[in-house]
Amino acid sequence: MTIFLTGGAGYIGSHVLLCCLEAGHKVVVLDDFSNSSPEAITRVEELTGERVTIWRGDIRDGTLLRQIFDRHHIDAVLHFAGLKAVGESVADPLAYYDVNLGGSVTLVRAMAAAGVFRLVFSSTAAVYGDQVLMPLTETSALAPSSPYGRSKRMVEQVLADLCAADSRWSVAVLRYFNPAGAHSSGRIGEDPRGVPANLIPYAMQVAVGRYPELVIFGDDYPTPDGTGIRDYIHVMDLVQGHLVAMKYLADRTGYHVWNLGTGRGHSVLEVIRGIERVINRPLPWRIAPRRPGDTAQCWADPARAAADLGWRTSRGLDEMLADHWRWQAQNPEGYLS
């Protein structure tokens, strides 16, 4: 197949790119490199020995998208391009509606014009918002609590409406929980611009000495050790979820939603202990007040993906942290470009 991968230089996109190439697909990437480096794609090419066609540009550029669909015979689209920082989305909501919602509408319009109707969309557990009942199933209430989460939920609604209006569409919405880890080579991984907002990238940068200590946001949650619980999923398990979802869509139409999580939560202190095992020394940390907007706990019920797709995660927290650490230790400053 020829796959069009938007945001293919990013953290998750670059890992998906690697596995698509290894599976024998041709891949065309569109990325504006606003939150990534072309070096990620170069490294994927080195790891696979395959060449990637790269288009540098904006997902909102309909003319460019038409050009890409004219030039390549695309079979399926995996749509990762977008903005993902929750705090930034509160400060600059228009950017999020513009890129995430507007970009997705521009993309599906170009797809329809080119007669391409198979799409896998990167959604997020943030569409559920603050929920009391765990685990979260695909039918749990949806109450996103940030413009980021709302922009993703809106795209889901657009895609559902599209599938209802035109039976040629074949759409998978994948709601990721907390991706972490890296490819076992240590050559590609998460390289956040600026100060990392998420726990594992921040803690890893403390471990390489870029920050003096990890700040734990609250130890007074109603959880066994008082710190927040999340469902961390290895990025390579997440990648497999995309490959099986794409296969599922090959002979089906309609709108399909799956949670991609492990079904198991870990507290901040458990993650810290895991990192200490991997780096073989203590990680400096201190307790601070809760981060506004955080929830006590969040984990997935991945049963639907298991039943429909035969997909299950196979990598645990220790492997995730070891792989993340290999990437971070070998690339303390990230891609450096």
* Burial status of residue 153 (CB atoms within 10 A of its CB: 0-12, 13-18, 19 or more): buried
CB of 27 to ligand UD1, least distance (A): 24
Residues 200, 192: Cα–Cα separation, whole Å:
11
Helix (H) or strand (E) holding 172: strand 170-176
Give start and end residues of each alpha helix (H) in the chain. 11-22, 38-48, 62-71, 86-91, 93-96, 103-114, 147-165, 199-207, 235-250, 268-279, 303-309, 317-330
Residue with tokens 């790269």: 54
One symbol per residue from 110 to 149: x for binding ligand NAD (CB under 6 A), - otherwise; what is it? ------------x-x-------------------------
32 binds, among ligand UD1, ligand NAD, none (CB under 5 to 8 A by kind): ligand NAD
| DSSP assignment letter at 247 | H
Q: Are 8 and 14 in contact (CB under 8 A)?
A: yes
Is 148 one of the annotated active-site residues of the chain?
yes
**Is residue 224 near ligand UD1 by the rule CB under 6 A?**
no
Choose, by CB under 6 A, the member of 3, 9, 20, 283 that binds ligand NAD: 9
Q: Work out whether 261 is an interface residue with ligand NAD (CB under 6 A).
A: no
Given a contact cutoff of 8 angstroms between Cβ atoms, the answer to whether 174 and 260 are in contact is: yes
Choice among 11, 96, 128, 148 that is catalytic = 148
Stretch that binds ligand UD1, among 24-32, 34-42, 69-77, 121-129 (CB under 6 A): 121-129
Single residue of 187, 230, 266, 326 touching ligand UD1 by CB under 6 A? 230
Binding to ligand UD1 (CB under 6 A) within 79-108 occurs at: 86
Q: What are phi and psi of 29, to 5 degrees?
A: -110, 135
- Of residues 157-176, those binding ligand NAD (CB under 6 A): 176
Give the C-alpha separation, 174 to 259, whole Å.
6
Rule CB under 6 A: say whether 179 interacts with ligand NAD. Answer: yes
CA distances from 77 to 52, 62, 123, 279 (A): 15, 15, 14, 38
Interacting partner of 129 out of ligand UD1, ligand NAD, none (Cβ under 5 to 8 A depending on kind): none
Best CA proximity match to 12, nearest among 183, 147, 152, 159: 183
In the list 29, 35, 317, 320, the residue contacting ligand NAD (rule: CB under 6 A) is 35
Which of ligand UD1, ligand NAD, none binds 293 (CB below 5-8 Å, type-dependent)?
ligand UD1
Q: Is 126 in the site for ligand UD1 (CB under 6 A)?
A: yes
Length of the chain: 337
Q: 120 by DSSP, 3-state: which?
A: strand
The footprint of ligand UD1 on residues 19-58 (CB under 6 A) is none
How wide is the angle at C-alpha 40 spanned by C-alphas 44 and 109, nearest 5°? 95
Shortest distance, position 222 Cβ to ligand UD1, whole Å: 13
Q: Of 25-33, 47-55, 198-206, 314-322, which segment contacts ligand UD1 by CB under 6 A?
A: 198-206
Q: Which is nearer to ligand NAD, 167 or 337 (CB)?
A: 337
Size of the site for ligand UD1 (CB under 6 A): 21
Measure the CA–CA gap between 120 and 100, rounded to whole angstroms.
14
Residues annotated as catalytic are 148
Chain contacts with ligand NAD (rule: CB under 6 A):
7, 9-13, 31-36, 58-60, 80-84, 99, 103, 122, 124, 176, 179
Chain contacts with ligand UD1 (rule: CB under 6 A):
86, 124-126, 149, 178, 197-199, 202, 214-217, 228, 230, 268, 291, 293-294, 298
